[in-house]
Structure 1
Amino acid sequence: MPDPRKIKTPGVYVPEKMIFPNSVIQVSTAVPVFIGYTQKANDGKQALLNKATRITSLKQYVQLFGSGQGALLKFAITAAPASWPVPNAPHVTINGREQAVQASAPSFYLYNAIRLFFQNGGLACYIIAVGNYHENILLEHFKTGLSILLDQAEPALLVMPDALLLPHDDFYALVQMALQQCKEMGSIFYLVDVWGGSAMADVNVIGSGSTLDVITDFRTNIGADALSYGAAYFPWLNTSILGVDEITFANLPDLDTYIETDASHQAAYHAVKTALLNTAYALLREDNAMHNEATIAAVQQSHLALLAVSLNYKQLIAAATAAANVQPAAGALAGVYISSDLSKGVWKAPANVNLAGVIKPTLYITDAVQQILNVSTADGKSVNAIRTFPGRGVLVWGARTLNGNSNEWRYISVKRTVMMIEQSAKQALLPYALQPNNADTWMKVKDMMYNFLLGLWKQGAFVGTSPTDAFHVSVGLGTTMTAADISNGVLMLELMVALTRPAEFIYIRIKQQMQKP
């Protein structure tokens, strides 16, 4: 609207005057970022390596970053040791000998984490590819990924499943670094899996000081700073994410010594080998990543033929598939967080929720073991359990941050709600920077924040039967600021909120009533 004192053209002028205050827009809490290794990283026009790329579906991920490792994922078949069972190594009996089937090369986790993410309610996420399947797994790659994350405003969760492939000390150096960065950014919450969690053989050793005590090792090495900005989950998961057609002979050693020894099976096997298998092996030597359609078709045709003629082969494939399906939990948990945030709100604990695509945890967690995980009297570092319950399936059965002894930041939902309020307020107050620090500005800010918190209270974010009981907004001279503050250009806003907390421990008290005459 032009200045009325400067108008020189006759006519009617209608000024629009704003009577409503600016509003606070709730920042998104439902977008994670995944950092790790991918098959490729390009969109056909430009490279996407070391760039934050937003995707909204598994199909889009495959288009930009490829799929799993294909024939690059190798398994070894070894004689089962006398001290069986080998932790999480499926075993089969082949020609009278008990054999263990284990991955013999790094099994990258990012692709399957993305699959679990979308299966469990995930919608959009960011991918930061820091390398491909042919590269060495290095701490520096993840440091680069974290530095790229510094420039991203939307992601609210951090997942790094491939970090579990780092050596022990590098992994924990990265965890401490990531937690510290989450604290500095104030907008990111880190979902952590326990290093070595897939190799746990006996839950009874937890807390016993055994060399297999990965929980004590985890608590010892994650440090003591910024613990409220992350949550840990244990154990890893036996999933159904890889189908029986994704693992083939291309992932196994030469089959000659593993096929049935009787004449009829040997004849059937050699017929398949002569007609199909030799051609498939030749193609694989030139295309071990299985990019070409001819290679993929030849492998699948030979695979189906072998399944039809050999029970041993079928058992080996089942065992290798089971081994490949052991996955860390954070990818699935990211989907659970997003689903819970969108359906109920960030103030609802992402727990007591079924996990899709999961058969069972790799370990059976009892109440006694969870007590050790949930509450650590030594250092207060909580680890959330994933458990199987009869008739209820696989459930996320914990809702604590790593800072489990903190009265303020013990619960994931409490910490993430406060993070959401802080970031929402920060974005909303940016237009008021360098505005006059006077009563008019204070009133606008107070009204804006009051309306925002009122909306959250109505959605169930706060306890209290009235807004007065649930929250309070203060700003102004004599309440949050002194005359010296104002002289120094300081505008101080104080928010007090009564946050809802999860009912972690539910008691039922039953009393017998005397029979009335």
Structure 2
Amino acid sequence: MSYQAPGVYIKYVTDGPLTIRAASTSVAVFIGATKIGGSVAADKSVKATSITNARDYANAFTTLGSSTGPVSLPTTNDQAVDHMGMAIAGFYANGGGLAYVVSTKSDVASVAASGDFKLVNGAIELAFTAIALSAGAWGNDAAIAFSASDSGAGYVDIEITLSCHSDATTPAPKVERYLGIAIEDVADLQSSIVTFTSITTDPATELDTAVAAASATLALEDGTNSAAGAASYAEIFEELKGIDDISLITLPDLEWNTAGKPSIQAGIAHAQFMKDRMVLAQTEDAVADWANAGLPTIEYASYYHPKGTVVLKNGAGESVTATTGLTGHLAGIIARTDADKGAWTAAAGTHADVRGIAALTKSISQSRQGAINSNNVNAVRYINGTPTVWGARTRHVSGIYEYQPVMRTAFLIADSLRGALQQAVFAKNTEVLWANLKASVSGFLTGLYSQGAFQGNTPSQAFEVACGLGESMTQAEIDTGLLRVTVRFRAAKPAEFIEVQVEQLFADSL
């Protein structure tokens, strides 16, 4: 184009280097049982719920009337441990961010309710129904007592109790007392256990609180937890192929034993198919013979040992102690390490302290870790009195992806390039494109190199990029529409074994 008149001219450049942004390598998916809520429909389709904090999880899957944070607390008649809630709490306590939740349940939990009743106090008659604050069997342990109030006619005293489970031999209930409540204000009561709703029908149950010392108790009934969904873990993982940004897979209520193996293996097969994610798996505390534990040899899984204990406070202020796997906590530590140091840094060492647990279920000594580490199982140990991740291996025993940060660096490169190279689909597969891609990929890798992602004194020692005829493709491949970019990198492997040599210098050698 030639310019004749003075002015500003716009020229659109259609070919040039691509913009490559680093993909996230710490988005976790949590798959397991929840007390309420569900992700599996009757037709076995699966809907993963995206969360960015513990509150997002609690709003969908936690029994809010009996809970602390995202953890559903046990009650007298529902004492099951909420491993999923504890994993979510551990994930965010340790630095987690974006995550997906797949409950293996179907969303059919029901809310406990009192049935309709009428409060009578002289000329005042108002009808209500009371329901638990959220769905779930926990609500069946709630009760409401109404009694005459010293405030006089038209007022009522209300006591709401929840039978809790705790470490105590005789657990105390959670109790809420509301004194001198006007009957017309009952529906506005802000309870953390139940809600009251005014109704217009004339119920058969009548509670007359005008009688001196009158008292009547209503129990809540018919609350249920969500039922098991129809989809198997293998079918759930098939559905998860449609979510591209998952990097970490956790199965909080499973461990590597007879019951858990099939589902964990389904997760590993899924990770191997997707080639951009890793399973974090929990081993049993009882394992003694690691060589015969039957752990698969593959780079898409990392195993951890032992478990931890969590101590929570229930509504009555009493302690509730539970043993749980740590994969949710570990996913959070990986996310924290990625944010602070990069995916090429091992999520292990003194910076990888495990937050949100009271103790480990076993204490692992230096000598005892030898057998664990040689079988590529990662120990969680007390280091200076603090539970700390002290291993960063995959199960790719003696393979090139034996170290977790090496595998995850490969994930980072592959996912980042996959996202960017979408821009090149249907572009002219010629020298101009190849040169632009090489420049873009080299620039991206140089950025990683400057952050310490690779070994090598110079970028040329740290990585190589090939793209073009005779470099990464043949003419026959180009003729079929193939564009291949080949990246080779020199991984920065973690220093696992630090040896200090101490020698004496003698006078005659100086």
The TM-score, its normalising length taken from structure 1, stands at 0.67
Distance 1:374 1:138, change over 3 A: farther
**1:70 and 2:73 are equivalent in the alignment:** yes
8 A contact 2:35–2:82 mirrored in 1: no
Q: How does 1:16-415 map to 2 (within 5 A)?
A: 16-17=12-13, 20-41=16-37, 50-67=46-63, 68-72=71-75, 106-131=80-105, 134=225, 140-164=231-255, 168-194=257-283, 196-197=284-285, 200=286, 206-207=288-289, 215=290, 219-220=293-294, 222-224=295-297, 227-240=298-311, 242-243=312-313, 245=314, 300=316, 321-322=320-321, 324=322, 326-352=323-349, 353-376=352-375, 382-389=376-383, 391-406=384-399, 408-415=400-407
Task: Indicate the residue corresponding to 1:267 in structure 2.
Answer: none
- What SS class does the counterpart of residue 412 from structure 2 fall into? helix
Distance 1:16 1:437, change over 3 A: closer
Task: Check 1:232–1:486 CA distance in 2 against 1; reply closer, same or farther (3 A cut).
Answer: same
8 Å Cα contact 1:73/1:106 also seen in 2:
no
CA deviation map 1:349-404 (0-9, x unaligned)? 0001111122321011122221111113xxxxx11001113x35111000100123
CA distance in 2, matches of 1:72, 1:42: 21
Q: How does 1:400-479 map to 2 (within 5 A)?
A: 400-406=393-399, 408-479=400-471
How far apart are 1:30 and its partner, in Å? Answer: 2.1
Q: Which runs of 5+ in 1 are unaligned?
A: 6-10, 44-48, 76-104, 208-214, 247-299, 305-316, 377-381
Q: Tell me the alpha carbon deviations over residues 422-445 of structure 1, each in whole angstroms, 9 at most, x when there is no partner.
A: 121122222222322211111111
One-letter amino acid of the counterpart of residue 394, structure 1? P
User: What is the deviation of 1:487?
Assistant: 2.7
Paired residues of 1:38 and 1:129 also in contact (CA < 8 A): yes
In structure 2, relative to structure 1, the CA distance for the partners of 1:14 and 1:113 (3 Å cut) is same
1:123 shift after superposition: 2.0
**2:89 & 2:22 partners in 1: Cα distance?**
28
- Cα pair 2:333 2:347 within 8 Å, conserved: yes
Of stretches 133-142 and 168-177 in structure 1, the one that deviates more from structure 2 is: 133-142
Task: Spell out, residue by residue over 1:223-269, the C-alpha distance to the aligned partner (whole angstroms, 9 max, x if none).
Answer: 44xx20110100001233x22x35xxxxxxxxxxxxxxxxxxxxxxx
Distance (whole Å) between structure 1 residues aligned to residue 388 and residue 96 of structure 2: 17
What one-letter code is carried by the residue in structure 1 that aligns with 2:463? F
In structure 1, the partner of 2:474 is: 482
Question: Conserved in 1, the CA contact under 8 Å of 2:38 and 2:104?
Answer: no
Distance change >3 Å, CA 374–CA 21, structure 1 → 2: same
- For 2:275 and 2:258, locate their aligned partners in 1 and report how far apart those are by CA, in whole Å: 26
Contact 2:282 2:326 in 1 (8 A): yes
Q: Which deviates more from structure 2 when the two are superposed, residues 504-513 or residues 458-467?
A: 458-467
- The one-letter amino acid of 2:372's match is L
Return closer, same or farther for 1:374/1:13 CA change in 2, 3 Å cut-off: same
Show CA shifts across 1:145-186 (max 9, x none). 32332111222111111234x9x4342111111111101111
Q: Aligned to 2:436, what secondary structure does the other structure show?
A: helix
What is aligned with 1:504? 496
Residue segments in structure 2 that go unaligned for 5+ positions in a row = 40-44, 64-70, 110-135, 137-224
Give me the whole-angstrom Cα distance separating, in 2, the residues matched to 1:350 and 1:106: 31
- Distance verdict in 2 for CA 1:126–1:471, change over 3 Å: same
What's the C-alpha RMSD, in Å, of the aligned pairs? 2.9
CA deviation string 1:324-361 (max 9, x = no partner): 2x110101101100000011100000001111122321
Distance of 1:420 and 1:55 partners within structure 2: 22
Amino acid of the structure 2 residue aligned with 1:147 = E
Q: Which has the higher helix share?
A: 1
How many angstroms apart in 1 are the aligned matches of 2:461 and 2:47? 46
Contact kept, 8 Å, 1:186 with 1:423, in 2: the verdict is no
Residues 419-473 of structure 1, C-alpha deviations (whole Å, 9 max, x = no match): 1111211222222223222111111111111111011101110111211111111
Contact 1:414 1:501 survives alignment (8 Å): yes
Give identity over the alignment, percent.
Answer: 28
Q: 1:74 to 1:328 in 2, by over 3 A?
A: farther
Between stretches 461-470 and 34-43, larger displacement belongs to 34-43
1:474/1:493 contact within 8 Å kept: yes
Aligned length: 375
The one-letter code matched in structure 1 to 2:413 is I
- The answer as to whether partners of 1:139 and 1:174 remain within 8 angstroms in 2 is no
Mapped partners of 1:362, 1:419: distance in 2: 32
Assess, with a 3 A threshold, how the Cα gap between structure 1 residues 237 and 483 changes in structure 2: closer, same or farther: same
8 Å contact from structure 2 (residues 282, 325) kept in 1: yes
